[in-house]
Amino acid sequence: MKTSIVVFPGSSCDRDIERAISETLNTQVDMVWHEETTFSNDPDLVILPGGYSFGGYLRSGAMAACSNIIEAIKTHAAKGKMILGIANGFQILTEAQLLPGALIPNTSLTFICQKAYLRVEQTENMFTSDYKIGDVVQFPIAHHEGLYFLPPSELKELEDAGQVVFRYADPVTGESGAEYALEGSLNGIAGICNKKGNILGLMPHPERATFKHLNGGVDGIAFWKSIAKAFGERGGF
Amino acid sequence: MDFHKVGLSDSEYKTILEILGREPNALELELIGVMWSEHCSYKSTRPLLKTYPQKGKHVVQGQGENAGVVDLGEGWGLAFKVESHNHPSAIAPFHGAATGIGGIVRDIIAMGARPAVSMDGLFFGDSNLQKTHTLAKEVVKGIGFYGNAVGVPVLGGKTFYSPAYNGNPLVNAFGAGFVRLNKIASSQTAKPGEFAVLVGSKTGRDGIAGASFASRELDENDNASNPNIQIGDPFEEKLLIECCLDILDKDLMTSMQDMGAAGILSSSSEIAQKSGCGIDIQVLQIPLRDKGMEPWEIFLSESQERMLLIVKEENLDDVFKITKHYDLDCKTIGTLTDNRRYKVFKGDELIANLPIDILGDTPVKFWPSEVPADLSERQAIDLSTLKTTSPAEDILKLIACANGNSKHRIWEQYDSMVQLHTIMGPGSPVAAVEVPETKRACLLTMEAEPWKCFTDPYLGASETMALSLRGLWLSGADALGMTNCLNFASPEKSERFYELKESIKGLADTCRELDCPVVSGNVSLYNETVSAPIYPTPLVVTAGLIINRDEILKAGMTRSGDKIYLVGENDGSLGATRYQKMKNGKPLGKTVEPDYENEKLFRERAIKTAREKTANSGRVLAGGGLAVALANEAISSGVGMNISIKPQTTVESLLFSEGGARAIYSVPNNKIKEFENTWNGFSFDCIGTATGDSLSWDNLFTIPISDISKAFLEGE
């Protein structure tokens, strides 16, 4: 398996993700600068990391979505290969219209860094097959523009198509919904996939829940395992 | 031009004339004036700072560089420093605090280290004033705005409220980074013939002469329109981090210096002077943001996000390629020479020509010192008169008060987990971060005790330092070194100078006795407004090391059934404690006298306890004393306690006194014997059991932990 992590000026979770997948996945990792026009190593998985691409100026992800590499990402997506966008990476995916919706400022108008609890809402995609529907996992969040927003009709379409993968939830009851979304996301949406299930974007950080000696828990390990499993089962693309 | 306008005294000007043998021209006078300012020259404190113990087996780089470096083993070092950004934050809280983070991050880069940790010491005014909250909100937003975007996690800090900071809040920014010991950069290794290269932002009119601004008292007319304030761009800074580390990694530079106070002037003159060189600077080469800037403005501008690199001719092309990759401006602005002169050219015209030492070897200022007339008044209280009618009520008040309650509303606005190395973050009494590629952990404590320093500067500073060490020892770490930020009022007033001198002595003696060298620091004077000076506020950050990160003893890990132990004496002092302040409305009375022998006994046993894992949890006694330590431990562990212990003096002293080497431990039943063996030779006592869902103390009080939790999280 081969992975490319796209690095934008201002990305800050690129090295974190490199470490998390290097320790959990059997994969080669290539760091690809945003000015490239192609992926030279023909990756199976492309990851857009968190951080402040282009300083977050204009709108989070807006300028990165105009980078050279975006065309190559779209080609990669059209082939049905995997794309994962975490936090700022999710914002870039929506700005590039590879995923629907938008991430807008938190209702508190403050940055929020906290542990967040997510209910796994579907497992028919390439990123959550190692979980069961209804599992509640803890991935930390750290964002200022993390409120997932869509106009009502498109939101209904997204829900009806079962594209919501993670929803903020109560860790005790496992109940999910808008009331558990610290930043105010519609329907408590924390992560979504495209219809084919090969592109996933989520605001919480699974890489921060991967090492047991660190303070973010270990619920992210199953996330990386799911990717390995999806890849293994399909025997490549 | 009038030399008084650039902040020089008559005698200083006389010395300048003697050195030069002529009158300086207007530009030269501006340059000298800034470099001789308190902010740049440390003229009032240099002789005092020399009294700090500076050597130690872990010290790789001591005072005199952009940051200190201590050895973490396995080829890694920790570069760290704390700096103030008090004056800018008082005038423009958001941008002042933000650029404070930017400045400390560049100090860490300048050592060749990747910035990895930040912490903040925040001292705000009266918590009952709306003004205080408005200011605090802006400061916190500014720190988050900058720190989050550059991707450096905040691992903790200190927040303190008191009317003493009403007109003059303090913002102290701590930064640390990891550096390979064979890759440490220096500002003292430039050689004649090499080029001075300016990387980063264009130079504008922002922050001109900020150093002089920080070298006087704030007056009522200082406000946000003041051009002394700099504006930060964290995106540019993030690119600067990656770019400088890239250039360093490829061995393309020989020396580096960040541009802080007095911008191009201080960075270029320092690097040349410390390297034993001179420098020629071509002012027309400096990329400018504003039109028509005069040379003196260009040299004194404190525009943010700029670094000065020293590069050999054969490496210039590669350096330009790398800066272009990061889309950063880069320009050769000067050449190192062997004539030890600081020369500024405007085209062919030589517009300043000074001996380099006049900018670097600045004079020392000795101020008279006098015991404050009201010091005995500050100390005069019969502490035995402090009476509690309801211990439960008092404990809840101490937990809920502005200086006791949870600061999660602040630290949840900071990214505390980016870089994937946070072991213990904000909310823990001690911060811990993994050392890259090893099993080691670096631990950090930040402490300040303004009330105790107010009633006795020497004892207060000593207790501050000891407290920072105890936290490390209890967690299982050996101390490697300390950095400090000395926030004081005007040294020109003899009573204020006494407080400064005594505080430094308290820190120096304690560091010397307890083997903790001082590797870096910052002094911020003139912290006062027309109405009042701040409390003497020395803030320390101490770094420690644990070889095996699995041996960190954490707080908040008490399990039901554990025996609760108090180690150390039953009583400290009630002087200038959170409890005394609550009862009297102002700090009164002295804290404890240092007892270094006792501290050493504590150190040995505390480290052993962590390494041998004979306790599940531990916590040193700090603000609010034993009662608050137990209450905090109960809520963070989610388990109650039954405590039974007879006071040796008074109930109040037992519950609420502070100071001295004292801690609580939670010991599982199967480790009691080992634990007691370890603490043999030191005062210890089993004082209760962890059980139930209340904190109960004989017949004194029973408080449900849900009530304590509510007080802690919601405050007053």
- Give the pLDDT band (50/70/90) at residue B225: very low
Chain A contacts of B150, Cβ < 8 Å?
12
Kindly name the residue from B58, B85, B95, B421 that is annotated as catalytic.
Answer: B85
- Work out how many CB contacts closer than 8 A connect A with B: 90
- Residue A10, domain CATH: 3.40.50.880
Lookup: tokens for B533: 């000076």
CA angle B139–B144–B148, rounded 5-degree value: 160
| Domain assignment of residue B238, yes or no | yes
Per-residue pLDDT at B220 exceeds 60: no
Residue B31 near residue B265 (C-beta atoms within 8 A): yes
CA distance B235 to chain A (A): 5
B326 lies in which domain range? 186-362
Whether B39 sits among the annotated catalytic residues: the reply is yes
User: Of chain A residues 58-77, which have a CB less than 8 A from chain B?
Assistant: none
- Residue B272, domain CATH: 3.90.650.10
pLDDT of residue B261: 82
How many other C-beta atoms lie within 10 A of the C-beta of residue A17? 27
Among B239, B424, B434, beta carbon nearest to A9:
B239
Angle at which helix B391-400 crosses helix B625-637, to 10 degrees, equals 70
Chain B contacts of A139, Cβ < 8 Å?
none
Chain B contacts of A52, Cβ < 8 Å?
148-149, 151, 234-235, 238
SS3 B455: helix
Which single residue is written with the structure tokens 């059209």? Answer: A78
Would the CB atoms of B415 and A19 count as touching at under 8 Å? no
Would the CB atoms of A9 and B326 count as touching at under 8 Å? yes
Nearest to A14 by CA among A66, A52, A68: A52
pLDDT of residue B221: 56
A159 lies in which domain range? 2-233
| Domain assignment of residue B336, yes or no | yes
Backbone Cα Rg of chain A: 16
Would the CB atoms of B413 and A57 count as touching at under 8 Å? no
DSSP chain A: -EEEEEE-TTB-SHHHHHHHHHHHS--EEEEEETT-SS-TT--SEEEE--B-GGGG-SSTTTTGGGSTHHHHHHHHHHTT-EEEEETHHHHHHHHTTSSSSEEE--TTSS-EEEEEEEEE----SSSSTTS-TT-EEEEEEEESS-EEE--HHHHHHHHHTT-EEEEEB-TTT--BSGGG-TT--GGGEEEEE-TTS-EEEESS-GGGGS-TTSTT-STTHHHHHHHHHHHHHHT--
ipTM, 2 decimals?
Answer: 0.96
Per-residue pLDDT at B530 exceeds 90: no
pLDDT of residue B507: 98
CA distance B241 to B107: 11
Residue B460 near residue B576 (C-beta atoms within 8 A): yes
| Domain assignment of residue B293, yes or no | yes
Q: What is the mean pLDDT of chain A?
A: 95
A206 touches chain B (CB under 8 A): no
Lookup: tokens for B7: 């902040």
Lookup: tokens for B558: 């008490």
Kindly name the residue from B39, B58, B87, B95 that is annotated as catalytic.
Answer: B39
Residue B489 neighbours by CB under 8 Å, 6+ apart: B496, B499, B525, B526, B527, B528, B533, B534, B536
Lookup: tokens for B702: 């029973």
Name beta bridge partners: B483: B520, B541
SS3 B52: coil
| Domain assignment of residue B252, yes or no | yes
Structural domains counted in chain B: 1
- Give the pLDDT band (50/70/90) at residue A237: very low
Would the CB atoms of B235 and A51 count as touching at under 8 Å? no
| Domain assignment of residue B669, yes or no | no
Buried/exposed B512-547: b ≥16 CB within 10 Å, e otherwise = ebbebbbbbbbbbbbbbbeeebbbbbbbbbbbbbbb
CA distance A9 to A1: 26
DSSP B203: B
| Domain assignment of residue B343, yes or no | yes
Among B235, B420, B425, beta carbon nearest to A19:
B420
CA distance B83 to chain A (A): 24
Chain A contacts of B233, Cβ < 8 Å?
55
- Give the pLDDT band (50/70/90) at residue B532: confident
Residue B266 near residue B170 (C-beta atoms within 8 A): no
Lookup: tokens for B481: 């070194």
Q: State which amino acid sits at residue B648.
A: Q
| Domain assignment of residue B310, yes or no | yes
Whether B85 sits among the annotated catalytic residues: the reply is yes
- In Å, how far from its chain's centre is CA B301? 25
Structural domains counted in chain A: 1
Would the CB atoms of A215 and B414 count as touching at under 8 Å? no
Q: pLDDT (tens digit, 9 = 90+) per residue, B682-706? A: 999 999 999 999 999 988 999 999 9
pTM over 0.90: yes
